[in-house]
Structure 1
Amino acid sequence: MDEPLYATPDNPVPDNHFSGFFEGKGGVKIRYAVFRSAAREAKGTIVLLQGRSETIEKYFETIRDFTARGLWVATFDWRGQGGSGRMLSDQRRGHVARFSDYEADLKQFLEQVVLPDTRLPFYIVAHSMGALVALSQAPELESRIDRMALAAPFVALAGQVMSQRSITLIANTASLFLLGGRTFRKHPSAQPFEGNVLTADRRRYERNQAICDAFPDLSLGQPTARWLKETLGAIARVSRQEHLTRIRIPTLLLCPTADPIVPRAAINDLARKFRAGRLIEIDGARHELFSEADRYRAQAMAAIEAFIPGSLAEHGALEA
């Protein structure tokens, strides 16, 4: 790919930005972008962490929402997806060697891009796998991140033929026998809006699909056994009481109640053990809250705006 960011007719690149690559752990090229607010005085910076298989382009609408409220947005594509370096010769396989590589890339991003080139204070807004990385790294982020808002945090895996325990056992065994680069399923073809489990909004679903259609190098297929092993291990670790007790960053947990990917019960259980966390449920919403229908997405955005000082409700009612 020659250009850092890509537009489609109904998804133009937001104005007032800079983008490029930084070097992640092991020399992997990580694509990033920073979007400035037009406000005279910035109210801080959102560090936006995507879910598995997502790209910067998918968040252009959400980025505009934040910058319109006086916040800068800094974001990047995780290694192995989007416009960042891929891990395997079959670039469609979603792979990571170690979950700690994601954490190392986040640390590099904060040090190389966010701290020198954006505006204080810093807040994390994360979705799904990005929220899992944030939870895992949070005990070390207290001095840098003021607050976190985590949408549909990936703290359990539902909607599979096998149980999470069985998937963990198989993924661990495959990795042990040097088969960590294998996938359990074939890469899916493009799915129609009808019957999708991600969003009730046809326009946003088709917009996101059009990005992958126009720029297939940004798309990603099935996760590998190693990715499952590492990610499920991280889920087990962050769900323990002793880990959650170490997190002191005020955190908003947004739970879409009709999410078939991350079970509602798992997020509720996490919230009960998480002293720094506050739970808000978005009744009827599916997994991708930032691509959901307006009636759900607006609730999620309003909750974030009230929680993060400096946006619409500077002294919001959701003080943690």
Structure 2
Amino acid sequence: MNRTTVMEKAPFFPEVAEGPRNVNAYWINTDDNVRLRVAHWPSEDAAKGTVFVFQGRTENIEKYGRAVEALQSQGYSAFAIDWRGQGLSDRADEDRMLGHVDRYSDYQKDVSAMLKAAEALDVPKPWFLFGHSLGACVGLRALSEGLPMSACAFSAPLWDINLSAFQRFAAWPLTWTAQLIGKGHAYAPGTRGESYVLTTPFDENRLTHDESSYRYYQSVSENLEEQQVGGPSMGWLYQTLKETKALSKIASPDVPCITFCGAEDSIVAIPAVEDRMSRWSRGKFELIPNARHDVLYEVASVRDRVISEICALFS
């Protein structure tokens, strides 16, 4: 750590994360005075660099314990963040289960604070980015604005929501009006203030085919009740529709990239991912058969392949 910088330690629960025990968590603050939590897992091979982990919606840092262990086994350190409204970072509403953000540019304030913390901690370079779902949406915007990464990898990127034509037609005016009349913090239709993995049986889940991974999700949620996040707000849904539409029009960053989607992903719009990657000159897209939304926590053959290809790109 930079000797001129003192960062307050934050709680972290390695026994729940089931990842490397050598981890330090810290509180950091954004320019708009939101307190966030970050965590750093150092590696013995500092020359390989650091993977920045941009989490998906509802997730927390602990959920990436197993994934970080896989990255560390390949020689990489890792640096992860709880977005505002998630994990142990400040929540946007008195209802801690509500998944909400006022605007997507707020996530870029989180990224900026994370970068300052990485510099203060002397996190080893080169730097690489891994973003899952929401994290890939935030990551694409950050890369387009100059995020200094040597390469990036995305899984199930939220570059559009998987909605039917009717749902999309209805969602725009509904969510816009909700914000206009002060109902942006209401839950989006069909969602509630409860943990998805604790209320959805394994046989009905949309995340993974791997029962062990699903039990892991449930263990993280059960043991870290304070960190749970439920359904998205009307405001979050409107801001996501707005941001993904805007992102669809930007040029792809000049950064090496590999992106994975499970062929059975029903959460993100795969055509939007295919379109983006077809326009990414230094990018590669892989649609993985028999896989759902979270390929890093799919059956062993899938997750091993994904980690192997990510590390091959980063090396």
Same fold at TM > 0.5: yes
Compute the RMSD of aligned alpha carbons: 1.9
After superposition, the Cα gap between the structure-2 partners of 1:94 and 1:152, relative to the gap in structure 1 and judged at 3 Å, is same
- Measured after TM superposition, the shift of residue 114 of structure 1 is 4.5
SS at match of 1:126: strand
- Measured after TM superposition, the shift of residue 249 of structure 1 is 1.6
SS at match of 2:25: strand
Could you say which residue in structure 1 is the equivalent of 2:89? 84
CA contact (8 A) 2:126 2:149 kept: yes
Which whole-Å CA distance do the structure 1 matches of 2:179 and 2:115 have between them? 31
Tell me which amino acid in the other structure corresponds to 2:214. Y
Which whole-Å CA distance do the structure 2 matches of 1:199 and 1:160 have between them? 22
Which whole-Å CA distance do the structure 2 matches of 1:255 and 1:103 have between them? 24
Matches within 5 A, 1:173-192: 173-184=177-188, 185-188=191-194, 190=198, 191-192=200-201
Could you say which residue in structure 2 is the equivalent of 1:227? 236
2:76 to 61, 71, 75: 71
After superposition, the Cα gap between the structure-2 partners of 1:161 and 1:55, relative to the gap in structure 1 and judged at 3 Å, is farther
- Measured after TM superposition, the shift of residue 244 of structure 1 is 2.0
1:24 to 22, 25, 30: 30
SS at match of 2:204: coil
SS at match of 1:88: coil
2:65 to 60, 65, 86: 60
2:207 to 193, 198, 211: 198
Matches within 5 A, 1:149-298: 149-158=153-162, 162-184=166-188, 185-188=191-194, 190=198, 191-240=200-249, 243-245=250-252, 247-298=253-304
Could you say which residue in structure 2 is the equivalent of 1:106? 111
- Measured after TM superposition, the shift of residue 172 of structure 1 is 1.3
Q: Does 1:4 align with 2:18?
A: no
- Measured after TM superposition, the shift of residue 136 of structure 1 is 1.1
- Measured after TM superposition, the shift of residue 292 of structure 1 is 1.0
Gaps of 5+ in 1: 310-320
1:272-314 deviation line (CA, Å, top 9, x unaligned): 23334221221221001111111211221122011112xxxxx
Which whole-Å CA distance do the structure 1 matches of 2:181 and 2:119 have between them? 39
Matches within 5 A, 1:30-49: 30-39=36-45, 41-49=46-54
After superposition, the Cα gap between the structure-2 partners of 1:62 and 1:244, relative to the gap in structure 1 and judged at 3 Å, is same
CA contact (8 A) 2:97 2:194 kept: no
- Measured after TM superposition, the shift of residue 248 of structure 1 is 1.3
- Measured after TM superposition, the shift of residue 74 of structure 1 is 0.4
1:132-186 deviation line (CA, Å, top 9, x unaligned): 00111212225x2111101110012126795234222211111111111111232
SS at match of 1:199: coil
Tell me which amino acid in the other structure corresponds to 2:30. G
Which whole-Å CA distance do the structure 1 matches of 2:144 and 2:68 have between them? 26
Which whole-Å CA distance do the structure 2 matches of 1:267 and 1:136 have between them? 14
- Measured after TM superposition, the shift of residue 15 of structure 1 is 2.2
Tell me which amino acid in the other structure corresponds to 1:215. L
Gaps of 5+ in 2: 1-8
- Measured after TM superposition, the shift of residue 113 of structure 1 is 2.4
1:303 to 309, 312, 315: 309
1:23-58 deviation line (CA, Å, top 9, x unaligned): 02421110110001123x431110011000001111
Which whole-Å CA distance do the structure 1 matches of 2:161 and 2:120 have between them? 34
TM-score normalised over the length of structure 2: 0.90
Q: Does 1:138 align with 2:143?
A: yes
Which whole-Å CA distance do the structure 2 matches of 1:277 and 1:297 have between them? 20
Could you say which residue in structure 2 is the equivalent of 1:316? none
1:120 to 91, 113, 125: 125
CA contact (8 A) 1:42 1:72 kept: no
The total of aligned residue pairs comes to: 302
- Measured after TM superposition, the shift of residue 13 of structure 1 is 4.8
